[in-house]
Structure 1
């Protein structure tokens, strides 16, 4: 049963760290054999880790210098703390105003909830599910009505898979996926060259109405937008051709719905 579960990003990092049980490790190795992009990324991480360990090895083998002994360090820290206690109180008052400005800046610039986050979430889930040749969907296309009811109930908004047959994509089915911003619906399609396309939708807490924006993610490309508090992202391999017309059709159907 362990091998039947889709490979996640956590599985890939646990594989890199040698933390998987044998059955899950074998499943990840099979996944990497059929997903060259993920395999190349893991190989890069491993090379970087080996280089870092090699660079630090001479230092790690040296004895600890006397000046870094724990007792003198604690004593120096205690004296320094006592000497600057009164200064710290004054600095704290000054920092209070600075922190207010900083957190205000963070609130304005934090991109973890808007359309940029949605675009990355769609790509991450595409790499896990749409690239899975055995089980990319939870409910297949012959259960479209049940799928639409399921995801609409969980998202709190009416969502159903667009019909993309005119664009050359056959609907395979869909599933609920997880994101840092709550559940999302993912619908997966297959083109004439067996290339996969995914449409992901989730409620938006910010960027509730944003125009379409297109962005490349390595070998993938995505088009993302939001309307009336619901965000959409369409993802496909860059080699599949121009994605904007397909995204425009998704936008047209979801807006009319």
Structure 2
């Protein structure tokens, strides 16, 4: 067994059955220890299986004569239309081989800006905050700041929440659809964990603070000067707003 942490890429490759046997066993062991993550991955897997079942009859149909390559070559006038049908058929069949996250993205309206940032922070919280073995990858604050700044290609300020009763646990770099993001995790004396996610923004480069919630996760997201921030935790309402204001104040001093 390797010591590499299980990432979102590993989880989606697991759904697509694209992992090497040894890595697949590691992911399976990880899911056994993290029922919340296992439940989410099972839902993605169900979507994959439903889509494959729906498209299976199409995949098993014989190729229509009009898509026969020899006929297409012999009939130049019909070639453009036939080629379009051939491409469409190939795309339909290829969908049956897609799974997990790709299916989820194809069936939902793409989002951007701080809406996407809020979703990314919430997903990171759900995956890592419940991990009692290795929720963060680096714990040394100096090394962590240097690492994430290099990966994001810009200076990253590490929020200090000690006056608010939260201590830094550490952090990691997490992948998103909009590039790498820095994730910092904090906890208090009761073991309650919070996550701060930050990354460069391609849209909503300056956006006012907005509350968001979903299921058992709530938080605030905003953007200043091309950098986005999202604070998420297990509490609802405005209980996180003072912390979000403090993080925003500290970030503006970079």
Is 1:203 the counterpart of 2:200? The answer is yes
* Conservation of the 8 A alpha-carbon contact between 1:208 and 1:231: yes
- The question of whether the paired residues in 2 share the 8 Å contact of 1:6 and 1:129 is answered with no
How far off is 1:200 after superposition? 1.8
Q: What are the residue-to-residue correspondences of 1:108-257 with 2, within 5 Å?
A: 111-112=111-112, 114-140=113-139, 143-155=140-152, 157-238=154-235, 242-257=239-254
- Closer, same or farther in 2 for the Cα pair 1:76/1:215, shift >3 Å? farther
Deviation at 1:7, TM superposition (A): 1.7
May I ask how many residue pairs the two structures share in their alignment?
226
Contact 1:12 1:42 in 2 (8 A): yes
Alpha-carbon distance between aligned partners in 1 of 2:132 and 2:205, rounded to the nearest angstrom: 34
CA offsets per residue over residues 141-174 of structure 1, 9 Å max, x none? xx32343344345545443322223433221122
Distance in 2, matches of 1:55 and 1:183, equals 35
Closer, same or farther in 2 for the Cα pair 1:158/1:61, shift >3 Å?
closer
CA contact (8 A) 2:219 2:236 kept: no
Aligned to 1:86: none
Q: CA RMSD in A?
A: 3.5
Deviation of residue 241 (structure 1)? 8.1
Deviation string, structure 1 residues 59-85 (Cα, Å, up to 9, x no partner): 6666x38756726863797433589xx
Q: 1:151 to 1:30 in 2, by over 3 A?
A: same
Q: Is the 8 A contact 1:115 1:226 kept in 2?
A: yes
Structure 2: unaligned runs, 5 residues or longer: 82-109
Q: Is the 8 A contact 1:187 1:200 kept in 2?
A: yes
Q: Where does structure 1 lack aligned partners over 5 or more consecutive residues? A: 84-109
Change (3 A) 1:23 1:66: closer
3-state DSSP of counterpart to 1:139:
coil
* Cα distance in 1 for residues equivalent to 2:80 and 2:51: 38
Aligned-pair CA distance for 1:14: 2.2
Hey, what's the Cα distance between the residues in 1 that align with 2:80 and 2:52?
Answer: 38
* 1:65/1:219 CA distance change after superposition, 3 Å: same
- Once the 2 structures are TM-superposed, how far is the Cα of residue 39 of structure 1 from its aligned partner? 1.6
Aligned match of 2:77 in 76, 79, 87? 79
Question: Structure 2-normalised TM-score?
Answer: 0.70
Q: Kindly indicate which of the two structures has a greater share of residues assigned to helix.
A: 1
